[in-house]
Amino acid sequence: MSSTPHHSSTLDDKKDDLRVDVLRAGTQDIYSGESLDPVYHAKAKILNDAIQEIGMGKYQRWLFFIVGFGWFSDNLWPTTLGLIYTSVTREFNVLGEWMLLGQSLGLLVGAIFWGVGCDVWGRRWSFNLTLLITGVFALAAGASPNYYTLCVCMTFWSIGVGGNLPVDSAVFLEYIPASHQYLLTVLSIWWAIGQLTGALVAWPLISNFSCPTTSATCPSSLNKGWRYFLFTMGGVMMVMWILRFFVFNLQESPKFLMSRGRDEEAVAVVHKVAAFNGKTSNLTIEDLKEAERLFGSPRGEAVMATSAGAAVARKIKTLDRSHVKPLFATRKLAYSTCLLIVLWALIGLAFPLYNAFVTYYLETRGSAVGQTSVYTTYRNEVILSVIGVPGALMAGYLVELPILGRRGTLAIFTVLTGVFILASTTARTSNTYLAWNCGYSYTSNVMYGVLYALSPELFPTKTRGTGNAIVATANRVFGLMAPIIAMETSITTSIPIWVAGGIFVAAGFIALLLPFEPRGKASL
């Protein structure tokens, strides 16, 4: 009879030793132990320590470059609508809101499909397919014989674009050591580069190969610029896909493998990454099995089936419980998840409502002072894009400051984004309007850099893809409202600007309410 309490005490001591042992990296967890499954929690901490032991090496540097393509695409293609908007609507003599509707629908489908899918069949295939889909349909769009074909192609390329946020952020976060987690924010430099590249390519192509603004008609033979642009950027996407698929051999995420019960494969991946970095890892399969024995069932039963078929069946049958419910496991975690959904929804409405028509706004404002040239319009777009690049770099610095952190930086720069938008309505000259938009470009790049990093940091690996899919879905659903609002108002007025600016200001104050601050803490 006396052996039972002694055995219990020994088991508790082992658990305490394991808790201390797996935190050699010196970082704290975002969540408390009761927020996650205890076996998953213990194994995730062990893998965090293994990645930290490997450190920031060649594999992670390659990943920063390759994952950046997703950020590049995620900003390039939504802003493409604004770049080609005037040329397309003049050539086909249509309302451009249908393009925005098709784009928003594609982004919504992509966010749901790829976000949930990467939790079912893994990160690797999703990571390698999104750019391919985007590139293929962008090239096809350049040859569109009519407006309806263009809208369909835009919808399908947006399905590929919609997977970048839920998939790429998960891939990067699950390979980066906790000490360098801030690099997820710095990745937004690629977001700014995507916008800048689009503007630089559009400037000579569209300004030199578009119908004169004074022309009453706009035949396709005189309006090839937007097609050349789509061919060029579609080709860039194909090159990026080739680099991802054929040059860089992405390993499946060890945390994903662990969450699916494939511990041996998870350990093997960690050792491959260590070897790629020229290092060795002390991680063994026994480490993960010990965590399962100590924190799991008395018999050490497997947590879940590991076959792809079982994963698909489980996802269809228990999506609401097995992947969504953990995001609301505790009151604090549920509160955090709900606020993230609200933030993504509001910004998802405000950003396309304003940014998709920014080129049109610039032309309208320029017209008031006699500056109607297409050249001037795209020159201004390049200036706005250049201003955004230092904003992305600044985001990586600010999120590590003790006073600001993720929440403070996000709140301040989201409010400032709205303020600059609202201030732009006071502009009476094209240059004044450009100045206000430069401020908007800078602050919005900081805002998105933090938001793109903060969200996956606050979701545990087991449901990170699903969590990212939920917030991205909210973002895209509200994005669908943008063309509806534009149809009900007049885009030649300041009404959409006031709506977008007010939403950004409100979202900034909501960001202050987030209960978790990931700065200096390891993401599970």
Q: What percent of the chain has pLDDT over 70?
A: 79
Residue 8 confidence (pLDDT):
44
C-beta of residue 27 within 8 angstroms of C-beta of residue 521: yes
Question: Tell me: the pLDDT tens digits for 313-335?
Answer: 444 443 445 567 777 777 888 88
pLDDT-wise least confident of 311-325, 394-408, 459-473: 311-325
Q: Give φ, ψ of 515 to 5 degrees.
A: -80, -20
Residue 463 lies in domain = 58-252+325-522
Enter the pTM of the model.
0.76
Residue 317 confidence (pLDDT):
43
Placement of tokens 């050792």 in the chain: 271
pLDDT band per the 50, 70, 90 thresholds, residue 341 = very high
3-state secondary structure of 522: strand
* Residue range 110-129: mean pLDDT, rounded: 83
User: For residue 202, is it within any domain?
Assistant: yes
How many angstroms separate the CA atoms of 165 and 191, rounded? 11
Tokens representing 260 are: 């699916």
Question: Tell me: the pLDDT tens digits for 219-240?
Answer: 888 899 999 999 999 999 999 9
User: For residue 261, is it within any domain?
Assistant: no
Residue 176 confidence (pLDDT):
87
Tokens representing 508 are: 């900034």
Confidence check: pLDDT of 24 > 50:
no
Question: Tell me: the pLDDT tens digits for 372-391?
Answer: 567 777 888 888 888 888 88
Question: Tell me: the pLDDT tens digits for 46-102?
Answer: 888 898 889 889 999 999 999 999 989 988 998 898 889 889 988 998 877 788 788
Residue 36 confidence (pLDDT):
54
Could you write out the DSSP letters of every residue in 161-187? HTTHHHHHHHHHHTTS-GGGTTHHHHT
Q: In 93-163, which residue ranges form alpha helices assigned H by DSSP?
A: 97-120, 123-142, 147-161
Question: Tell me: the pLDDT tens digits for 166-201?
Answer: 788 888 888 988 778 778 778 888 888 998 899 999
Specify which of 136-140, 323-327, 378-382, 433-437 reaches the highest per-range mean pLDDT: 136-140
3-state secondary structure of 28: strand
Q: Cα angle vertex 420, ends 416, 422, to 5°?
A: 115
CA-closest candidate to residue 60, choices 166, 164, 181: 181
CA-closest candidate to residue 234, choices 131, 144, 146: 131
C-beta of residue 137 within 8 angstroms of C-beta of residue 160: yes
User: 521-522 and 28-29 as β-strands: parallel, antiparallel, unpaired?
Assistant: parallel
Confidence check: pLDDT of 404 > 90:
no
Confidence check: pLDDT of 424 > 60:
yes
Residue 301 confidence (pLDDT):
46
User: For residue 301, is it within any domain?
Assistant: no
Burial class for 426, CB neighbours closer than 10 Å (0-12, 13-18, 19+)? exposed
C-beta of residue 495 within 8 angstroms of C-beta of residue 489: yes
User: For residue 350, is it within any domain?
Assistant: yes
The residue count of the chain comes to: 524
How many angstroms separate the CA atoms of 32 and 35, rounded? 6
Quote the distance between the C-alpha of residue 140 and its chain's center.
25
Q: What is the CATH number of the domain that holds 104?
A: 1.20.1250.20
- Which DSSP symbol is given to 210? S
3-state secondary structure 226-269: HHHHHHHHHHHHHHHHHHHHHHCCCCCCHHHHHHCCCHHHHHHH
* Residue range 394-422: mean pLDDT, rounded: 88
Looking at the structure of the chain, the number of domains it has is 1
User: For residue 354, is it within any domain?
Assistant: yes
User: For residue 470, is it within any domain?
Assistant: yes
pLDDT band per the 50, 70, 90 thresholds, residue 33 = very low
Tokens representing 378 are: 């795209």
3-state secondary structure of 29: strand
* Residue of higher predicted confidence among 301 and 73: 73
User: For residue 293, is it within any domain?
Assistant: no
Average pLDDT of the residues of the chain: 79
3-state secondary structure of 521: strand
